Chain A
Amino acid sequence: MKKSHKLSIFFCTRTFESEAVFLPKAPNSLEVRGVSMACSSMVKDIFLLKAFEAGADAVTVWVCPEGKCRHVEGNLRARKRVERVKALLEAIGFNGRRLTFFNLIPGDLASASDILEGIVATFNIIDGGPSKVSGCCFPGNAALKIQSPFGSNHSIQTDFR
């Protein structure tokens, strides 16, 4: 089945170890790309924006429950940044619903599944079709390397072409 929408999921490795865990739960109409982070605080404004630039129709950020971040404030920072990017997107005419944020109990696949269904439903509300920027050809690098302050290296592919 042709995938009609592209979704980037930025997730803390404490919620799920890797995208392999929740990918099977993704509805068939969604092309999902996961970006794992050692802590959700590593979500910077620019990564969310680059995901949209590279063609994502929606971006979602999954973090640990409030008060449970193993680095104490990481999930709070992540939420603030997501709120800021959301406001920026809305200011330029994007539907803010395209960017979402969820606190997840580690390993809660049932919730992950609900969220993914919810995102598909959202597309019906937004515009029933892929966003204008998907499949566009932006020059410049869409692959970013994040240096984790806690040691490991992650390479993020946000390129949907």
Chain B
Amino acid sequence: MIVGEQKPIMEILQMVSPHKKLLILGCGTCVKTCFAGGEDEVTTLASVLRLALKTKDIFVQIEELTVERQCEDAFIAEAADAVSRNEAVLSLACGAGVQAVARRFPRSLVLPGVNTTFLGVLERRGLFTEECSGCGDCQLAVFGGICPVTRCAKKLLNGPCGGSRNGKCEVNADTDCAWHLIIERLSAQGRLNQLRAYVPPKQWQASLSGGPRKLIREDHVI
């Protein structure tokens, strides 16, 4: 899922307080799972904003609405009426959703309420971890199912570096050294020799450096 965190309340307050009628638009998919922007978070945020603005004697009328996903037109369309009757929209979707909404309603003011951070998983209750960088050329088979592009701070393909300490990364003692994990995983599978092979430089063309990427499925285009 896409993981994000709701922006600090003061930052949100600064963005929304000039407007008299605000729509807080939640998203029921990724951001709901990481407790950043689902229906519950919309309700809580609305309440906090009302309390905050009241102490400053500012009155903002807040409408609350959550759609299934903000990355698909069919669901965004459901918000059309609500968007039109408010001065500004605070979208709690990931960056992609915010942009999709802004694109659909180009004359409306659409503001981001969430800082989108990474592609990750729910590792255990309350813990989300980054797993994938979207490099476009997945080589997880080479590395025992652990991605060094994402999880090694130096993106080493022929790691480890000399900086790991007790299996933890040089950069952060709370982060496992990805290469330590790769070696452990492959050792346990009796495949450590797989790492004997030299891994050539990554081909970054499939990745972010070339501007925004597109995927076209011709078989779905009529």
Which of A's residues lie within 8 Å of B, judged by CB? 44-46, 49-50, 52-53, 88-89, 91-94, 132-133, 136, 138
> Is the beta-carbon distance between A52 and B9 smaller than 8 angstroms?
no
Could you tell me the dominant secondary structure of chain B's interface residues? helix
Interface residues on chain B, size class = 10 to 19
Query: Can you identify 30 A-B contacts, CB atoms within 8 angstroms?
Result: A44-B40, A45-B40, A46-B40, A46-B43, A46-B44, A49-B48, A49-B51, A50-B47, A53-B47, A53-B50, A53-B51, A88-B9, A88-B48, A89-B48, A89-B51, A91-B8, A91-B9, A91-B10, A92-B9, A92-B10, A92-B48, A92-B51, A92-B52, A92-B55, A93-B52, A94-B55, A132-B54, A133-B51, A133-B54, A138-B50
- Closest residue of A by beta carbon distance from B64: A140
Contacts of B52 in A (CB 8 A): 92-93
Instruction: Say whether B13 faces chain A, with CB atoms less than 8 Å apart.
Output: yes
**Minimum CB–CB distance for B53 against chain A, Å:** 9
Contacts of B40 in A (CB 8 A): 44-46
> Is the beta-carbon distance between B55 and A93 smaller than 8 angstroms?
yes
**Minimum CB–CB distance for A131 against chain B, Å:** 9
Contacts of A52 in B (CB 8 A): 51
Bound: A50/B10 CA distance, A: 20
**Minimum CB–CB distance for A91 against chain B, Å:** 5
> Is the beta-carbon distance between A132 and B55 smaller than 8 angstroms?
yes
Pairs of residues from A and B, 4 with the lowest C-beta to C-beta distance, nearest first:
A92-B52, A49-B47, A91-B9, A45-B44
Q: Mark B6-23, 1 if CB is under 8 A from A, else 0.
A: 001110010000000000
| Most chain B CB atoms below 10 A, which of A44, A52, A92 | A92
Contacts of B43 in A (CB 8 A): 46
Contacts of B8 in A (CB 8 A): 91
Bound: A53/B43 CA distance, A: 13
Bound: A105/B8 CA distance, A: 37
